[in-house]
């Protein structure tokens, strides 16, 4: 089964927090997910790679017959550096995300195709519109995560 994925991420360096969002489509339906990146993902690029990894994870978790996937991303790194013979990134955080993605994709034995899409486009019916959707979802997840973190920190300080 073929899956088409749209992935994006948002990262706020001054608060050291990132979020991801995915939209997956196959013959069996659609999946929309978003959330915060783990603490070790400390750059926009690392979060973009994490989003691509979440697309693989959710597609293979929800649809057992996945054999191929096209990942549409506005990240140049994602579309050029997640293939099997790509040079590893110098940044430790990005390199670790890149390695995790490559190991997971090999374990799942999927045919992967990557396509660069225009960032933040709103063209009706096009790939850029769907990328815009996941971009907005990643920003919502980031905002929600920041508010949640601030609330936890405030309440932890009050309990001490």
Question: If pLDDT is split at 50, 70 and 90, which confidence band does 87 have?
Answer: confident
Report the CATH architecture of 2-159: 2-Layer Sandwich (3.30)
pLDDT in tens, 13-36: 888 889 999 999 999 999 999 999
In Å, what is the CA distance from 66 to each residue of 11, 105, 112, 152? 30, 12, 11, 39
Q: Tell me, what's the pLDDT at 3?
A: 97
Mean pLDDT of the chain: 86
| Mean pLDDT computed over 130-150 | 84
Q: Are residues 121 and 14 in contact, defined by beta-carbon separation less than 8 angstroms?
A: no
C-alpha Rg value of the chain to the nearest Å: 16
Structure-token pair, residue 39: 């603490």
pTM for the model: 0.85
Structure-token pair, residue 41: 């993902």
- CA-to-CA distance for 155 and 82, rounded, in angstroms? 40
**Rama region for 118: left / alpha / beta (φ>0; ψ in -120 to 50; rest):** beta
pLDDT in tens, 104-124: 888 888 899 999 987 765 554
pLDDT at 94 over 80: yes
| DSSP per-residue letters across 114-136 | EEE--TT---TTSHHHHHHHHHH
pLDDT at 132 over 90: no
pLDDT in tens, 36-76: 998 888 889 999 999 999 999 999 999 999 999 999 999 99
């Amino acid at each position: 089964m073929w899956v088409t994925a749209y992935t994006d991420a948002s990262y706020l360096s001054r608060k050291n927090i990132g979020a991801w969002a995915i939209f997956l489509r196959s013959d069996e339906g659609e999946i929309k997910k978003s959330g915060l990146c783990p603490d070790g993902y400390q750059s926009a690029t690392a979060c973009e790679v994490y989003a691509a990894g979440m697309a693989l994870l959710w597609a293979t978790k929800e649809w057992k017959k996945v054999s191929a996937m096209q990942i549409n991303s506005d990240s140049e790194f994602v579309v050029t550096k997640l293939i099997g013979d790509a040079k590893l990134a110098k940044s430790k955080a990005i390199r670790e995300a890149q390695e995790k993605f490559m190991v997971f994709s090999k374990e799942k034995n999927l045919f992967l195709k990557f396509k660069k899409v225009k960032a933040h486009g709103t063209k009706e019916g096009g790939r850029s519109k769907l990328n815009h959707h996941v971009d907005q979802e990643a920003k919502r997840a980031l905002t929600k995560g920041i508010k949640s973190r601030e609330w936890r920190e405030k309440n932890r300080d009050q309990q001490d």
